[in-house]
Amino acid sequence: MTDPHSPASETKPPVGEADVVAGLAAVRAGIRQAAEDAERDPASVHLIAISKTVPAEHILPALEAGQRLFGENYVQESKAKWPALKQAFPDVELHLVGPLQSNKARDAVELFDVIHSLDRLSLAAALAKEIARTGRHPTLLIQIDTGNEDQKAGIAPDQLETLLVECRDTHGLTIRGLMCIPPAQDPPSPHFALLARIAEAHGLPILSMGMSADYAAAIQMGATHIRVGTAIFGARTHKA
């Protein structure tokens, strides 16, 4: 007799609708647990579902399950996927979490509600110009390279003060928070703790930190926005 619970009898389909809904439910439960452990209100942690490389038909079940905050890495990909989805779900809030080239600032300001990756004055200038032109005011976060390890993106913590002042005084831009991606080889918690300290020192309310592997630690350290892709949508089939 075959055991119906044996792994062999489970034909696991490729990531589909049910998987996305189950992944989302598991992450929501994980957020509740981590918030409870940290004695925080789970409602103070906002889940951004990172849908880079995920086709629209796999984003739909998450939208139908009530998820409204989504994050993408690429402006071009987002332009192809999101206008139609936003038409069907107008209260979607779209976050750009990947690096932004200044020549894509126009599209970024038109499409995104929150930009997490501001990391240089030239980009602030390009964004300010498009904000003035369109009247759209995406929420802006500065990306910090907490590892100080010459990552491609993010500024060193000791450059934040200067960039904040220049954004404000030169371009009239208000920065609302900070984002970080800890180096893959490091334990993440010290990076999250550092980001939280820097944000607090500058009175910045939004803390974007924590991904599939480490969002519980980020919640422990005060994350207000976590960015979770794989744990909801499954492993990305092509390189992000």
The residues binding ligand PLP (CB under 6 A) are 50, 52, 73, 97-98, 181, 211-213, 227-231, 240
- From first CA to last CA, the distance across the chain in angstroms is 44
**Cβ 49 to ligand PLP shortest distance, Å:** 9
Residue with tokens 């939004």: 206
Residue of minimal CB distance from ligand PLP? 229
For 130-148, b where at least 16 C-beta lie within 10 A, e where not — what string?
bbeeeeeebbbbbbbbbbe
Quote the least distance from Cβ 212 to ligand PLP, whole Å: 3
Torsion angle defined by CA atoms of residues 219, 225, 230 and 231, in that order, rounded to the nearest 10 degrees: 50
Write out the two tokens for 133. 């032109």
CB of 71 to ligand PLP, least distance (A): 7
Amino acid in position 160: L
Q: Are strands 139-143 and 206-208 parallel, antiparallel or unpaired?
A: unpaired
Which CB atom, from 126 or from 232, has the smaller least distance to ligand PLP?
232
Q: State in angstroms the smallest separation of the CB of 179 from ligand PLP.
A: 7
Q: Between 30 and 157, whose beta carbon lies closer to ligand PLP?
A: 30
Residue number, 2 or 51, with CB nearest to ligand PLP: 51
Nearer to ligand PLP, 72 or 203 (CB): 72
